[in-house]
Structure 1
Amino acid sequence: MSQSTLDDDELFGEAASEMREDVEESLDAARESLPSADDIWDVDADNTLGALNTLSSALDIGDAEEHLRDAKKWYTMGERADAFEDADDLAEAIEDVEALVEDIEAAGEQVSDLTSTIPQLRGALEDAAADDADPEADADGSTEAEA
């Protein structure tokens, strides 16, 4: 029975190491899926809408959420099995990547809102400028000269 116990302990240790590696690999893959700082900072566009569209594309997180989910899954399995001697670093890394994903998604939503708002705002400003250019225009767009 001693041999069996040794084998089980050895197998459990191997499995724990593999789980840790799976968590670390999934976290690395999640980080690699995130946009780079330069991708969201350097924008080549001719106007505001072009810049917003470019930024919106740059804020795509790719498969980061899927990789993060895998990391959390393997981390949870390892924690419940008490397989990790010290998993504080893994928990912290998961929280860090999760916070980045949430921040990028929030920024993407804000950019999306601006992408739809800016053209409307431009149109409203153009309409206001046109009304100011023709002070005799009344509410229905006709001029007193037409009356």
Structure 2
Amino acid sequence: MSQSTLNDDELFGEAASEMREDVEESLAEAWDELPDPDDVWETDADNVLGVLNGLRSALDVGDAEDHLRDAKKWFTMGQRADAFDDADDLEAELEDLEEVIEDISSAGEQVGELTSTIPGLRSTLEEAAGDDDEDEE
């Protein structure tokens, strides 16, 4: 098919289809980057700090945020160009993915706080136990 046989509507339809595919592909890549549920749930650590460090590492979303950004960029462009016949499914998936990433990031921050708090707490408890031992003597 020569380029002269394509009219503007056909070209726009083709571009809209490609834009939707780009959004869907970026969404799929973002979902794939999310942590594996078993990595978040299971551990081989010997102590609480090891568990927390493992969990913090497991809660890394990798490049999911970058893929989400790409999906949102192409989605916004497509919406503003009125290129999508029905974009409700894409919009809902974008919102779902964004919420999941926010939840994972929030959990990671909480685990990070615990990771930095637990060693100090242990030291405090060891000192308190040492004080108790001295008082008993």
Q: Same fold (TM over 0.5)?
A: yes
Q: Which residue of 2 aligns with 1:50?
A: 50
- Could you say which structure has the greater relative contact order, defined with CA pairs below 8 angstroms and 6 or more residues apart? 2
> Shift in Å at residue 113 of structure 1?
0.2
State the structure with more CA Rg: 1
Deviation track 1:51-96 (CA, whole Å, cap 9, x = no partner) reads 0000011011100010000000000000000000000000000000
Aligned to 1:84: 84
Instruction: Indicate the SS of the match to 2:7.
Output: helix
**Per-residue CA shift, 1:23-60, capped at 9, x if unaligned?**
00000000011101111001110000000000011011
Tell me whether 1:72 sits opposite 2:84 in the alignment. Answer: no
Moved over 4 A (4+): none
Rounded Cα–Cα distance in structure 2 between residues aligned with 1:82 and 1:52: 47
1:136, distance to aligned residue in structure 2 (A): 7.0
**Is residue 124 of structure 2 the alignment partner of residue 117 of structure 1?**
no
Structure 2 residue aligned with 1:145: none
Counterpart for residue 40 of structure 1: 40
List runs of 5+ in structure 1 lacking aligned partners: 138-147
- Structure with the higher helix share, 1 or 2: 2
Gaps of 5+ in 2: none
CA RMSD of aligned residues (A): 1.6
Q: What residue number does 1:142 align with?
A: none
The normalised TM-score by structure 2 is 0.94
Whole-angstrom CA distance in 2 between matches of 1:64 and 1:6? 37
Name the CA distance, whole Å, in 2 between partners of 1:108 and 1:102: 10
- Quote how far apart the aligned CAs of 1:5 are: 9.9
Q: 1:87-121 CA distances to partner (integer Å, 9 max, x unpaired)?
A: 00000000000001100100000000000100100
1:27 partner amino acid: L
